[in-house]
Amino acid sequence: MSAQAATSRGIRLWRAVALPLVLLAAWEASSHSGLVDPHLLPPLEDVVARAWNEGRNGDLLTALSASLGRDLAGFVLGAAAGTAAGLLLGFSRFAENLLGPTLRVHRQIALFAWVPLIAVWFGAGEPGKIAFIALAAFQPGLINIWRGVQEIPQRYRELAAVLTFGRLDFLRFVAIPAMLPAIFTGLKAALIYAWQATIGAELFMTIAPGIGGVMMQGRQLFQMDLVLLTILLLGLVGAGFNTLAGLSETLLLRRRLS
């Protein structure tokens, strides 16, 4: 058993990097061998050099921070609205009956189908993008919070009733703690959808700086190194979000006792 555990860390780490290393080596080899058009597959060092340059002149970083900025704005807006709606629908049967079906139908319409409409109503600048991102973050927040409320165990509700808790106390001592996992799931999902929407929005509404704009530019100018670089950045941001979400979840939920 312990022998198997030892196999784990060292060997598994090696296995994890094996394939990526092989691919990188193959990349280097093929781009230098002349077999592949250097436009399609620039050598590794070109990409690195590009990264270095972009880092120096800051254009890429500006674009990235613009993207992250509106991602955050849209996320906060949408997730807050979704959370509020979820709480409302969870706790009020009247609201549920009134709004539920409409929201269900709304969920069926593919997110990106809203792009033309939003572009016309809000324009293709900041308001439009942020509105779209907020829309993307809304449904995941809503669904998970709504579900979270419904899943508050019956026995906790009964306990609160027996202790004659007022509404505020109930929320504070019973409802919110019981719902924390659902809240986290909702926020995590909203974050992911918001980031996806940010990139999408920037591909469609290319006014104002943003990573999406940079990618489109790279495509138009056939600058593969730039395109590859931006994909790498996207991956890193995505990974960053996931790690952040995971860490905060572990931290904040660690103190919970089931």
Partner 1 sequence: MARASHPLTQSVQRSASHAVNGVAADQQAALLLGGYHSSPIGDALVAAALDSIADARSADARSADARSADSQAASDEVSADDQAGRLFRRLLASDRTGRLILGLSLPLIVLLAWQLSSSFGWLPDQILPAPALVWQTLQERIADGSLWGDTSISLLRVLRGFALGAAAGLVLGGTMAASRRLHDYLNPLFLAVSQVPTLGWVPLLILLIGIDEGLKNTLVALSVFIPVTLGTYQGIRDVPHAYREVGAVFTFSSTQMLRTIVLPAAVPAIFTGLREGLSNGWQTLVAVELLASTEGLGYQMAYGRQLFQLELVIAGMLVIGLIGFAFDFLLGRIENHLQRWKVAA
Map the footprint of partner 1 across residues 42-81, applying CB under 8 A: none
CB of residue 58 vs partner 1: minimum separation in angstroms? 21
Q: Are 72 and 80 in contact (CB under 8 A)?
A: no
Q: Binding partner 1 by CB under 8 A: which of 38, 55, 58, 100?
A: 100
CA torsion sign, 182 to 188 to 191 to 192? negative
Tell me the torsion sign for CA atoms 35, 40, 42, 43. Answer: negative
**Total chain residues near partner 1 (CB under 8 A):** 86
- 113 lies in the binding site for partner 1 (CB under 8 A): yes
Nearer to partner 1, 126 or 241 (CB): 241
134 and 196 Cβ atoms separated by less than 8 Å? no
Query: Between residue 121 and residue 140, which ones bind partner 1 under the rule CB under 8 A?
Result: 121, 139-140
Q: How does DSSP classify residue 36?
A: S
Q: Which stretch binds partner 1 (CB under 8 A): 25-33, 74-82, 125-133, 233-241?
A: 233-241
For the bound state, the minimum distance from the C-beta of residue 165 to partner 1, rounded and expressed in Å, comes to 6
Among 38, 55, 101, 127, binds partner 1 (CB under 8 A): 101
Q: Answer yes or no: are the C-beta atoms of 212 and 206 closer than 8 Å.
A: yes
Whether the CA torsion 221, 223, 227, 229 is positive or negative: it is negative
Class of residue 136 by CB neighbours under 10 A (exposed 0-12, middle 13-18, buried 19+): buried
C-beta of 208 vs 219, nearer to partner 1: 219
Q: Is 146 a residue that touches partner 1 (CB under 8 A)?
A: yes
Annotate 137-149 with DSSP letters as a single string.
HHHHHHHHHHHHH
User: Does 108 participate in binding partner 1 (rule CB under 8 A)?
Assistant: yes
Residue 162 amino acid letter: V
2 lies in the site for partner 1, by CB under 8 A: no
Q: Which of 48, 49, 98, 244 touches partner 1 (CB under 8 A)? A: 98
Between 44 and 157, name the residue whose CB sits nearer to partner 1: 157
Our finding on whether 216 is near partner 1 (CB under 8 A) is yes
Count, in order, helices (H) and strands (E) of the chain.
Answer: 11, 0
If one asks whether residue 158 binds partner 1 (CB under 8 A), the answer comes out as: yes
- Using the minimum distance from each CB to partner 1, give the nearer residue, 15 or 254: 15
Instruction: For residue 171, state whether it binds partner 1 (rule: CB under 8 A).
Output: no
3-state DSSP assignment of residue 95? helix
* Residue 28 Cβ vs partner 1, minimum distance, rounded to whole Å: 17
For residue 131, count other CB atoms closer than 10 A to its CB: 20
* Count of alpha carbons within 13 angstroms of residue 162, beta-carbon side: 6
Residue 179 in contact with residue 141, Cβ under 8 Å?
no
Least distance to partner 1 from the beta carbon of 150, Å? Answer: 5
Q: Contact with partner 1 (CB under 8 A): which of 43, 114, 126, 176?
A: 114
Told to check if 88 binds partner 1 by CB under 8 A, we report no
